[in-house]
Structure 1
Amino acid sequence: MTKVTGVMTFIDPHVHFFALSKGNYGWLKSHNPPYWPDKAAIARCTSEQSLIVASNREIAGFVHIEAGFDNARPWREIHYLNAHCHLPFKSIACIDLTSPGVYGHIDYLARLPSVIGLRHILDGEATDLLSHPKVKHVVRYMSERGLLFEAQFDINSNSATAALLNCIDCIPSLTVIINHAASGGLNLVNSNTLKGWQANILALGNATRVGMKLSGWEMQDRNWTLPAANRVFQFLFEHVEHDKLMLASNYPLCQWRLPYHTLWQAYKRLVSQLPVSSQQGLLAENARRWYKIAAK
């Protein structure tokens, strides 16, 4: 793993930048959903420079996940990133899998060097969307253009997980990265729901070309605790191949709970029990490999 002046650095594969004066960001406006009472705390400009400062200059690269800059013209966000980012990075662009112009959007985005994949936030529509023949064809087309699919949905949903697994089976070339994979099990203790989450994690972990990001804790519980996260980590470390797992932040939303640097220091402590190669993988090298991030 890269070291800078003796400090172990990391790659964060799930960050969002908000250029409020350039993009739309309708979801960040108070009169639009989601109606989070603490939305104002994150509805402010963030950039690569603010990320570097927040990391205490320990970050060596990142993956930028589409943040609602302009969902109708997702390439605008990519052009902005390419003009303003200097660390090694890749980007996940927004895509509407149901849009009449989706194939043209995929063609355009696939030509942009920083774009490694696409995301349509599936959430409660995951089962219906991933079961639809047209959506499956679009996802296949995406994979044929060399783009991975960033899947954000509720892993506690058996039907959504089954629909995604079926999609993966039908498209052998498809690479899928699961967003916030671990957070769904955060507050599940000795319950049928916990067993369901574990079963779905195992099924996804056994699938080929599927990676998982461990992040987004604050989306489940603004006051999440490290001991609760550690219980989830232990299950994943024991049952999923370590080279399929990546630690990530969901910056800047993670700062609802912890300062960014504090979060990564906590991550380093949580993985310290593992072999050095696994620690390096979870903190940086797996993200570098899954997202094809160049070394600086």
Structure 2
Amino acid sequence: MTEPTDIDRSEPIVDAHHHLWDLFALNYPWSKAPPHDVGWGDTRPLYADYLVGHLRHDAERQNLIKSVHVQANVDPTDPVRETEWLERVADLPDSAGLPTAIVAYVDLSSPAAAEHLARHAAHPRVRGIRQVLNRHADARLNRAPADFLADPRWQAQFGLLRNHGLSFDAQVYWQQMPALADLARRHPDIPIVLDHAGMPVERDSPALAGWAQGMQLLATCPNVCVKLSGYGMSDLHWTPDSLRRFVRDPIEWFGPDRAMFGSNFPVDRLMSSYDRLWDTYRLLVADLSSQDRRALLRGTAERFYRI
């Protein structure tokens, strides 16, 4: 498969996963630390504001109509400040209503979880919560400070999401997928979306087999969808060919009505332009029916996030 050319960009898109940050308006602890090697190449461009104007410029040729902001690791002591800022941003005339939906941060293991959930839920654009869960035997791949999926308090307070009609964005590795499936089955009324296609960061045969098995297990949970995003974090020099199985296999397992595309910008901006990424998405699903393409490019995200 060649690089995408002459792609039809007329089909509107919903970017189901992106971040915005203003390093002056909010406190992001990660922005105070020096750039370090996380396998993404030169990360220095991330240490600058990324605002709605930047997103709209990056997406100006892709017919972006709605977007979902996912929490950007803001100061965890008062994560509601990020939501308050995003609501103000989305109301600005030149923001065109973006972001349309907000996935906020709450530490579900914290005594303050119930309070933070209630404060987030009071804002009209909040649709869900993300708390990064990635744990791995290789400490370099850890993205969470603890194994929350094995934490009794975290498990108990996960159920608080239903009090506010909130979904959960789950970011895990394949080794954690059985535990996530158990969680999904215990809470069938809480919608869960698996971020970044299950993060297939390990590409040896046993890991790929484990990823496929875990993804198919999660696909048996009716309340779980999959987000096709974050590919640059797993494949720094991706091509349409290298992405194909990680796009098409999840679509086959979950179905187009339970799969959605996201950019993961500005993180994946380190690896690709917005046009190259979305043109590749369009190319990889070009042979599907117009109904299935519509679901993947916007319909599933609109339904899941109620936008």
Q: TM-score, normalised by structure 1?
A: 0.89
Query: Which residue is equivalent to 1:3?
Result: none
Q: Percent identity at matched positions?
A: 29
Shift of residue 274, structure 1, vs aligned partner: 0.6
Where 1:7 maps in the other structure, the secondary structure is coil
CA RMSD, Structure 1 to Structure 2 (Å): 2.1
- CA–CA distance in 2 between the matches of 1:103 and 1:34? 35
Gaps of 5+ in 2: 1-8, 91-96, 136-143
After superposition, where does 1:248-259 map in structure 2 within 5 Å? 248-259=262-273
Query: Which residue is equivalent to 1:165?
Result: 181
- CA–CA distance in 2 between the matches of 1:241 and 1:126? 33
Do the aligned residues in 1 keep the contact of 2:132 with 2:172 (CA within 8 Å)? yes
Query: 2:47 aligned with 1:43, yes or no?
Result: yes
Query: Which residue is equivalent to 1:214?
Result: 228
1:229 to 235, 239, 243: 243
Aligned length: 283
Query: Which residue is equivalent to 1:66?
Result: 71
Q: Deviations over 1:135-171 (max 9, x none)?
A: 12111111232111111111x21xx212111111212
Range that drifts further, 168-177 or 6-15: 6-15
Do the aligned residues in 1 keep the contact of 2:35 with 2:43 (CA within 8 Å)? no
Do the aligned residues in 1 keep the contact of 2:106 with 2:130 (CA within 8 Å)? yes
After superposition, where does 1:1-296 map in structure 2 within 5 Å? 7-31=10-34, 38-56=42-60, 58-85=63-90, 86-87=97-98, 89-124=100-135, 128-154=147-173, 156-157=174-175, 160-181=176-197, 183-184=199-200, 188=203, 191-293=205-307
Change (3 A) 1:226 1:126: farther
- CA–CA distance in 2 between the matches of 1:122 and 1:182? 12
Shift of residue 262, structure 1, vs aligned partner: 1.9
Do the aligned residues in 1 keep the contact of 2:225 with 2:254 (CA within 8 Å)? no
Do the aligned residues in 1 keep the contact of 2:159 with 2:187 (CA within 8 Å)? yes
- CA–CA distance in 2 between the matches of 1:69 and 1:131? 24
Letter of the structure 2 residue corresponding to residue 16 of structure 1: H
Range that drifts further, 68-77 or 101-110: 68-77
Do the aligned residues in 2 keep the contact of 1:62 with 1:88 (CA within 8 Å)? yes
Change (3 A) 1:240 1:127: farther
Shift of residue 208, structure 1, vs aligned partner: 1.2
Letter of the structure 2 residue corresponding to residue 134 of structure 1: R
- CA–CA distance in 2 between the matches of 1:215 and 1:233? 9
Where 1:118 maps in the other structure, the secondary structure is strand
Do the aligned residues in 2 keep the contact of 1:126 with 1:153 (CA within 8 Å)? no
Where 1:273 maps in the other structure, the secondary structure is coil
Where 1:121 maps in the other structure, the secondary structure is coil
Do the aligned residues in 2 keep the contact of 1:127 with 1:163 (CA within 8 Å)? no
Do the aligned residues in 2 keep the contact of 1:11 with 1:61 (CA within 8 Å)? yes
Do the aligned residues in 1 keep the contact of 2:198 with 2:211 (CA within 8 Å)? no
Shift of residue 258, structure 1, vs aligned partner: 1.1
Do the aligned residues in 2 keep the contact of 1:13 with 1:62 (CA within 8 Å)? yes
